[in-house]
Amino acid sequence: MPFANTEIPGKFQALLAERGIRMTEQRRAILNVIETAKRHLDAGQVLRRARKLEPSIDRSTVYRTLGLLKRHGLIDELDLMHLDGEAHYYERKLNRDHIHLACLRCGKITEFVSDLFESLKEQIENDCQYQIAVARLEIGGCCSNCRT
């Protein structure tokens, strides 16, 4: 998935094994797809790609696996301003939260990290007495390419 690709492939598998979760051919295929994806994929795209590795995989297995990874905090679920239909997109969770900018004209997704974002989250935790589990900042607008 986008951004620093410093993650070790197979990390998901190791992390799930640690927690005593069974590994199946289907899961291996799905994890592989997500770990090696270069862009944000929705559930349907994950299914189609995983089927190339393991043709028997069913739609519901993909949803169940995505749910599993979400519950274990290994992936984040995004809407990306619903640029294309109503599906959700998934990406590996990295050490640092990032902001998603979706160009409403060309559909390009840009990622951005910011210390200000980190400060804002801290402010919220303090001022609102909130314990943040997920923070999703999505921006829709017009990218520089589309304005020139």
Partner DNA sequence: ATCTTAATGCGACAGTGTCGCATTAAGATC
Partner DNA sequence: GATCTTAATGCGACACTGTCGCATTAAGAT
The residues of the shown chain that bind DNA, judged by CB under 7 A, are: 17, 20-27, 42-44, 54, 56-61, 63-65, 67, 85-88
Residues 6+ apart with CB under 8 A from 132: 121, 124, 125
CA-nearest of 25, 13, 138 to 69 is: 13
Q: Which residue matches tokens 């986008």?
A: 2
| CB of 47 vs a copy of itself, minimal distance in Å | 18
Q: How many CA atoms lie within 13 A of 143 on its CB side?
A: 15
Ranges within 48-87 binding a copy of itself (CB under 8 A): 79, 81, 86
Residue among 43, 53, 68, 143 that touches a copy of itself (CB under 8 A):
143
For residue 134, the partner it binds in a copy of itself, DNA, none, with Cβ less than 5 to 8 A by kind, is a copy of itself
Q: Judged by CB under 8 A, does residue 97 bind a copy of itself?
A: no
Task: Dig out the tokens for 14 from the structure.
Answer: 């190791």
Q: Rule CB under 8 A: is residue 133 a binding residue for a copy of itself?
A: yes
